[in-house]
Structure formats: C-alpha cells, structure tokens
Structure 1
C-alpha cells in the first residue's frame, strides 16, 4: 500500500463559510469519499481525488487544505457511516455485552470502505509523525458512541473507562481479523470481553 502523496495548500486565500461554498465542498467530499470507499488507499492522490470529484486539483485546494486534509475528512465520513450502522444494530439489544456482540459484524465487514478505515490506522503506525491524527481522530470519533451504549445511570468517568476498554479490545480484534482471519481466537476474545462487561453491568 502506498501512502498518500503530499501536496501543498492553496496559494491564495479561500472564501469559506457561504452556504453555496459549503454545499460545493460537501458535494466534492462525498464524491471523493465514495471513491475512497470503492478503491481504497492505494495510490490515493490529489490527481485521483480530482478525477473522482469531476473537477481539478486547484478546485480541491480551494476547498481543502491539501490531500491530507481531504483524506482526513473522507475518513471521518466513512467512519460516521460505520458508527451509524453499528448503533442501529446495538441499541435494540438490552445488555451491554450483547450490544458489543451486535457491533462486531459491522466492524468486521469486508466492504472496501470499511477496510480503508482500518488501513488508516496502519498509516498512523507506519508514520506516526505524519499520520498520528488519523488514529486520534478514530479514537475520538468512537468513544462517545461507545459511551452511549453504557447504562445511562453510570457516572461519566465510568462510562468513559468502559468505552476505552471496548475500543481497545475491538481494535485488537480488528487487527487479528484483517491480518490473520483467525475467527476462533476472535470469538474467544469476544466471549471474554462479554463476560467482563456482564460483570461490570452486574456491579450496578
């Protein structure tokens, strides 16, 4: 997998904030996000993004602070889609452990768009100085939805601790799934996580 190619920011001051400008920016971002979901991170570049958006690289640089900003925004959009699908599955389940079990198939889905999200974490590990923000964005984006799955009467600090536990565990399961496809080991880990969450919930 090649890393996204760097590019400079727009050499002129952008006019931002107008309704028309924001609408155009979102339209371009949606097209680039769809391309990223379909074709993955390999060879992602400003030229490819412009082609997918049906515009020029200068127009993209008018709306975004370079290719890395565009990649970041596209990944945020893909992650929002994954989170929405996961929450739809989870909220109908009465127990915390059951909610986590319901979320796992959404995370492990092999659709290209979802694999791209996990590949971005690989970029953060490969070149943390340049891509650390991709991993931090992911953590920040997942924590609040995971907290929302915890019992509402729990103190905020407890919900955050348990959400961090769920996030760390499922990230580990995802690495195992993407690299080794060892479903037996993942099932064992999920079962242990469920038992831990059952004990946590039983504690009141």
Structure 2
C-alpha cells in the first residue's frame, strides 16, 4: 500500500470517529501524526481529501454488502440489510455519505463525478445482494431504487424515531420490495385501491 492510500485509510478512520462536517487539514493531520503539507501533497486540497474519504467509505460499504449472505427472500434480505446498516462499518459509512450531502459538496463538480461513480458501485452491490436474496435480474433495478433511497431516509430517522417503529416501517418497505420481486405492479395496485374508495 502506498503512502497516499495509507494516509487515506487513516483519515477515513478519523472521520468515522469524529465526523466529516468541519473537517480541516491541520487538525486531521495532527490527529493522524502527519502534516497538513503532506495531505496537500497527496490530495491537493480539503475538498479532494473529502472526496477521497467519501469514496473510501463507499468502498468499505460495498465490501460489507458484498460480504452479506443471501437471505431467504427479498423481504428477509431488506430487513437483514437494515440490521447491517445499523452496525459498523455500514452505519458509519452511511453517516459519512449523509454528512457529505449536508456539506453541499455532492452536487459540485469534481466531487459530483466521484460520488456518482461511488454510488454506481453501491447500487451494483445492492443489486447483487438482492439477487442473492431471490430478486430477478429484471426486477432488481426497480427494487434497488426503492430500497436504497428509503433506507437512507430511515437512517436519518434513527436519531429521532423509536427503533421498533422504524423496524416496522422497514418491514413495510421490505414487503413492497418482495411484492415487486414477485412481479406485482404496485402502481396498479395503488390505482385499484384508490378506485374502490
């Protein structure tokens, strides 16, 4: 492993412990036993370092999802994914992504391209996991879109909502994902339900 990669792992570990918001070069350099000049040499500036940290956190998240065993069905798989998102490393990886979004950098180029590429790897990992849980390759894209965005929302609610209520909501999401995996058209079901009112 090169010096840059070693520094990146150290900074990422530091960010996992202390957060991304308010990160500045001099304090993080001191915390990991190097100089801010060394960080500038390897990363250019703070925004490039933040982008690299978000990418590294995404790499760790993808590896964690890749390591999840398939569950007995999509519903069980979504619930198992939610449980994994509440434990490290996925919990902290998700926190880093949310903090990066809060900084407003995600929408700015060059950061936007880096995050988009990381998100593509994340979506592929989720898709592969859900296929291991029984989703068909034809339905998995739709399921991933539903599950990914929803679980980020549930993650944000962890700080304010009761875990049992969130778990109930996640299971509703999991049931919807299973319905899509079973070939049910949820939009048509919603229209049919509305027509009976």
Band the TM-score falls in, shorter-chain normalisation:
0.7 to 0.9
* Cα deviations by residue, 1:36-70 (Å, 9 ceiling, x for unpaired): 11111243101123223422222222211311111
- C-alpha distance in 2 between matches for 1:142 and 1:187: 22
Q: Residue 97 of structure 1 is aligned with which of 75, 82, 87?
A: 75
Change (3 A) 1:106 1:123: farther
**Counterparts of 1:108 and 1:59 in 2: how far apart (Å)?**
34
1:65: which partner in 2? Answer: 44
Judged with a 3 Å threshold, the aligned counterparts in structure 2 of structure 1 residues 113 and 172 are, in CA distance, closer, same or farther, namely closer
The one of the two structures with greater contact order (alpha-carbon pairs below 8 A, sep at least 6) is 2
Q: Give the 3 Å change call, closer, same or farther, for CA 42–193 of structure 1 in structure 2.
A: closer
- Are 2:86 and 1:108 equivalent residues in the alignment? yes
> 1:25 matched to which residue of 2?
4
Q: How many Å separate the matches in 2 of 1:135 and 1:186?
A: 27
Change (3 A) 1:76 1:84: same
* Aligned mates of 1:48, 1:37 — CA distance in 2: 15
1:38 is the counterpart of 2:26: no
Q: Is the 8 A contact 2:78 2:174 kept in 1?
A: yes
**RMSD after superposition:** 3.1
Partner of 1:122: 102
TM-score (norm 2): 0.74
Number of the residue aligned with 1:170: 151
Identify which of 133, 151, 154 aligns with 2:136.
154
**Unaligned stretches of 5+ residues in structure 1:** 1-21
Query: Which structure 2 segments of 5+ residues have no match?
Result: 185-197
In structure 2, the residue corresponding to 1:43 is in which secondary structure? Answer: coil
